Chain A
Amino acid sequence: MKRTLSYLFIGIFFGIVMFKSEAASWFRIYEMFNFQSFHMYGIIGSALVIGIIGIQLIKRNNVKSFYGEPIKFSPKDRGVSRYLYGGIIFGLGWALAGACPGPIYTLIGAGYLPIIVVLIGSLLGTFLYGLLRKKLPH
């Protein structure tokens, strides 16, 4: 129960950050792909710099989790096709709907009802991938 609540609070924190930083705004995504503002690059870039340094520190010092367990980082499977083709398809959708999967939920909470259509579409897209997976190059 305590763990469940901690996930809920992390999610609430994430949702507030997504909304207040305007990373959940369609306009910011459009502006980013037009290279007309540093805002989105600053968000992703600063998160990344801190992330890279932090993960290196965890690995080098064998830092343990809150529960005293070793922290494991699982490497992504090798390959090019699935990441490139999947990435391009995702990018097309990200730019068109102006939302990535996290902000979809944030925008539902913020009360923009048509975003539910994007959620339904993304569930159908996920289902379609599951059906076609064996026929696709990976």
Chain B
Amino acid sequence: MEWIFEPWPWYVAGPLIALIMFLLIFIGKQFGMSSNLRTMCTMCGADKKADFFAFNWKDQRWNLMVVVGAAIGGFIGAHFLSNDVSVAINPDTITKLQSLGIESAGKAYLPTELFGLGALTDIKSLAILLIGGLLIGFGARYAGGCTSGHAISGLSNLQLPSLIAVIGFFAGGLFMIHVLFPLIF
């Protein structure tokens, strides 16, 4: 059972994600995480500002339970199922990140430059996190889904719109990392 405390390989994680999608399908729901952001906006009263948010959010309570679970799962994974959370990425990737000033590469789960407590008092880190979030929320709703809704659920159902969205995800990601990162970091 020692393997459970090690990072899980892709051939374990991928099939488990498919299993999660099928569990939701067999309950009569769909696997999609970003729609919860819309639900939360409605709960905060966004329906008074735009009719996009005018829907009965209580129908989406089931998905809110899934994200509450996702947080609990993160707590369990980090605190009870891991000995060492540092991520053993490719040594070439580590060198590349160090040249960008991200020294925590290879030594942590997330870059401490962005996700350590010090980031909360650093204007640049806060701006990166906030803008990253803005793009995620805006883009996911504009595209009608995120990695779970399009790259997993949509492509599994052979949806052309999902393929277009996933091509967009990669175009945006590659542009960010290869063109914008050297300017940002």
Contacts and interface: CB of A to CB of B under 8 A. Distances in A.
Interface string A1-12: 001101111111
A122 B87 CA distance: 25
Interface of B: prevailing SS: helix
Contacts, number: 503
Given A20-B8, A125-B136, A126-B138, A26 B75 contact: no
A65 B28 contact: yes
Contacts of A52: 155-156, 158
B70 to A, nearest CB: 4
Contacts of A12: 69-70, 72-73, 76
A26 B138 contact: no
Interface residues of B, number: 126
B110 A25 contact: yes
Nearest to A122: B137
Nearest to B141: A129
Interface in A26-66: 26-34, 36-48, 50-52, 54-55, 58, 65-66
Nearest to A137: B142
A108 B71 CA distance: 6
A86 B41 contact: no
Interface of A: 3-4, 6-34, 36-48, 50-52, 54-55, 58, 65-67, 69, 71, 73, 75-80, 82-115, 117-131, 133, 136
